[in-house]
C-alpha cells in the first residue's frame, strides 16, 4: 500500500483532481519549496526594479573606482565607479523580462502548432509543422541568432525573435504527441458525434488537458531563455540597451585581468542561484504533475 493511501486515503479513494494531487505532492517536496522561495526572492528583486525602488541608478558613475564591497556599495564598484549591486539588480529585471516574453510566446506558439499537428496527424498540416520543426532544429542556434540579428539590423528584439523562433519546437513536439493520444479519448469522440467544430474540439476540449505539460515546459523554457540571453549578451548578440548579467560577465573579462572580480562574482552568483532555484522548482513541479508518480 502506498504512502498516500495510508496517510491520506482521500487522495486515492475520493478521486481528487490532478491539481489537488499535484499540490499535495509538491508541498511535501522540500527542494521544490526551496526552489520556489528562491524564484520568489528574485521575482521580488525584479519587481522592485520595475517599481523604481532600487537598481535605477545602475548607470550613475562616481569617483569610487574599483572599490571593494562596503556598506555603501555591497558588491563594490567597477572601473568607472558604477555600483555593481545596482547593475546586477537591473540585470535581474532584464532576465525576467526576457524569460517571460520568450516563455509565453514560444509556449503559446508551440502549443497551437503542436495541437494542430497532433489533431491532423498524417495530413498536410502535420507534414508542414514537422517540416518547419526539422528545418529550425537543423540550423545551429547561435548561427541562426546571428543571422536574425543581422537581418533586423540591430533591432533590440532580435534576440527575442530568434529564441521564440526556435524554442517553440520542443513544446510543439511534446504537445503533438499528447494530442495524438487525447484525440482518441471518449470525450473527443462524443464531441465529434454531436457535431462540435474541430477548432472548438482542439482549443476548448483537447488543449486545456495539456495545461500541466505546458506549465512544466514553460519553466524549462524560462531557464533556457535566461541562460541563452546571458550567452548571447556575452557574445554581443543580446541586450543592446541597458545592462544584463551577460553584459556584466562580458565586462568582467577585462576587470579580471586587472585583478578585480566584482562584476564576475555578482553576475555569476545571481545567475547560478536563479538557475538552480528554477531547476529545483521545475523538477518538483514535473514530479508533482506526473500522474504516473504517486508519493
| Euclidean distance between CA atoms 295 and 7, whole angstroms | 11
Task: Identify the weakest region by mean pLDDT among 54-58, 204-208, 289-293.
Answer: 289-293
Output the CA–CA distances (angstroms, integers) from residue 5 to 12, 18, 25, 287, 288, in the order listed: 6, 16, 13, 18, 16
| 53-59 long-range Cβ contacts below 8 angstroms, 24+ apart | 54/86, 54/89, 55/86, 55/87, 55/89, 55/90, 55/92, 55/93, 56/86, 56/90, 57/83, 57/86, 58/82, 58/83, 58/86, 58/87, 58/89, 58/90, 58/242, 58/243, 59/243
Residue 103, pLDDT above cutoff 80: yes
pLDDT of residue 292: 59
Mean pLDDT of 19-37: 86
Contact 88, 58 (CB under 8 A): no
Residue 187, pLDDT above cutoff 70: yes
pLDDT of residue 1: 37
Top pLDDT among 257 and 35 is at 35
Q: What's the predicted TM-score (pTM) here?
A: 0.84
Confidence band for 57, pLDDT divided at 50, 70 and 90: confident
Mean pLDDT of 116-136: 93
Residue 10, pLDDT above cutoff 60: no
Question: Hunting for cell 542556434 — which residue is that?
Answer: 141
Mean pLDDT of 243-258: 83
Confidence band for 16, pLDDT divided at 50, 70 and 90: low
Output the CA–CA distances (angstroms, integers) from residue 207 to 10, 167, 178, 183, 268, in the order listed: 28, 19, 9, 10, 38
- Kindly report the backbone phi and psi dihedral angles of residue 83, in degrees, each rounded to the nearest multiple of 5, phi listed first: -70, 120
Task: Identify the weakest region by mean pLDDT among 52-66, 100-114, 131-145, 194-208.
Answer: 52-66
Q: In the chain, what are the domain boundaries?
A: 17-289
Residue 80, pLDDT above cutoff 60: yes
Confidence band for 145, pLDDT divided at 50, 70 and 90: confident
Residue 176, pLDDT above cutoff 90: yes
Output the CA–CA distances (angstroms, integers) from residue 247 to 112, 210, 237, 244, 290, in the order listed: 34, 37, 10, 5, 38
Half-sphere exposure at residue 260, Cβ-oriented, CA atoms within 13 angstroms: 22
Mean pLDDT of 62-91: 81
Residue 265, pLDDT above cutoff 60: yes
Output the CA–CA distances (angstroms, integers) from residue 265 to 171, 192, 272, 273, in the order listed: 34, 59, 10, 12
Contact 92, 39 (CB under 8 A): no
Helices 262-289, 84-119: crossing angle, 10 deg rounding? 30
Residue 4, pLDDT above cutoff 60: no
Residue 235 in grid coordinates: 557574445
Mean pLDDT of the chain: 84
Mean pLDDT of 186-196: 87
Top pLDDT among 267 and 64 is at 267
Top pLDDT among 93 and 145 is at 93
Contact 271, 226 (CB under 8 A): yes
17-289: CATH, from 3.30.750.80, 1.10.3720.10, 3.40.640.10, 3.30.465.10: 1.10.3720.10
What sections of 51-139 are H helices per DSSP? 84-119, 124-138
- Kindly report the backbone phi and psi dihedral angles of residue 77, in degrees, each rounded to the nearest multiple of 5, phi listed first: -130, 170
The 3-class SS string of 11-55 reads HHHCCCCHHHHHHHHHCCCHHHHHHHHHHHHHHHHHHHHHCCCCC
Amino acid at each position: 500500500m502506498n504512502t498516500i493511501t495510508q496517510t491520506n486515503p482521500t487522495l486515492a479513494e475520493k478521486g481528487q483532481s490532478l491539481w489537488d494531487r499535484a499540490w499535495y505532492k509538491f508541498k511535501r517536496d522540500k527542494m521544490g519549496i526551496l526552489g520556489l522561495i528562491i524564484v520568489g526572492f528574485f521575482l521580488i528583486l525584479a519587481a522592485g526594479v520595475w517599481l523604481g525602488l532600487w537598481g535605477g541608478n545602475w548607470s550613475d558613475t562616481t569617483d569610487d573606482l574599483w572599490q571593494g564591497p562596503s556598506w555603501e556599495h555591497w558588491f563594490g564598484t567597477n572601473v568607472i565607479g558604477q555600483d555593481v549591486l545596482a547593475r546586477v539588480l537591473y540585470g535581474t529585471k532584464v532576465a525576467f523580462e526576457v524569460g517571460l516574453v520568450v516563455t509565453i510566446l514560444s509556449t503559446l506558439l508551440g502549443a497551437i502548432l503542436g495541437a494542430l499537428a497532433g489533431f491532423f496527424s498524417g495530413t498536410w498540416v502535420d507534414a508542414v509543422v514537422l517540416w518547419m520543426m526539422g528545418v529550425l532544429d537543423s540550423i545551429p542556434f547561435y548561427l541562426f541568432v546571428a543571422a536574425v540579428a543581422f537581418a533586423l539590423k540591430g533591432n533590440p528584439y532580435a534576440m527575442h525573435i530568434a529564441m521564440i523562433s526556435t524554442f517553440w519546437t520542443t513544446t510543439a513536439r511534446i504537445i503533438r504527441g499528447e494530442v495524438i493520444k487525447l484525440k482518441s479519448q471518449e470525450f473527443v469522440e462524443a464531441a465529434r458525434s454531436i457535431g462540435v467544430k474541430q477548432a472548438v474540439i482542439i482549443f476548448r476540449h483537447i488543449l486545456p488537458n495539456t495545461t500541466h505539460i505546458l506549465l512544466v515546459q514553460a519553466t524549462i523554457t524560462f531557464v533556457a531563455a535566461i541562460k541563452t540571453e546571458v550567452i548571447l549578451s556575452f557574445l554581443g548578440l543580446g541586450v543592446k540597451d541597458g545592462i544584463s548579467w551577460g553584459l556584466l560577465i562580458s565586462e568582467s573579462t577585462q576587470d579580471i585581468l586587472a585583478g578585480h572580480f566584482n562584476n564576475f562574482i555578482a553576475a555569476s552568483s545571481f545567475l547560478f542561484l536563479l538557475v538552480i532555484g528554477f531547476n529545483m522548482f521545475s523538477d518538483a513541479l514535473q514530479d508533482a504533475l506526473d500522474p504516473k508518480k504517486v508519493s
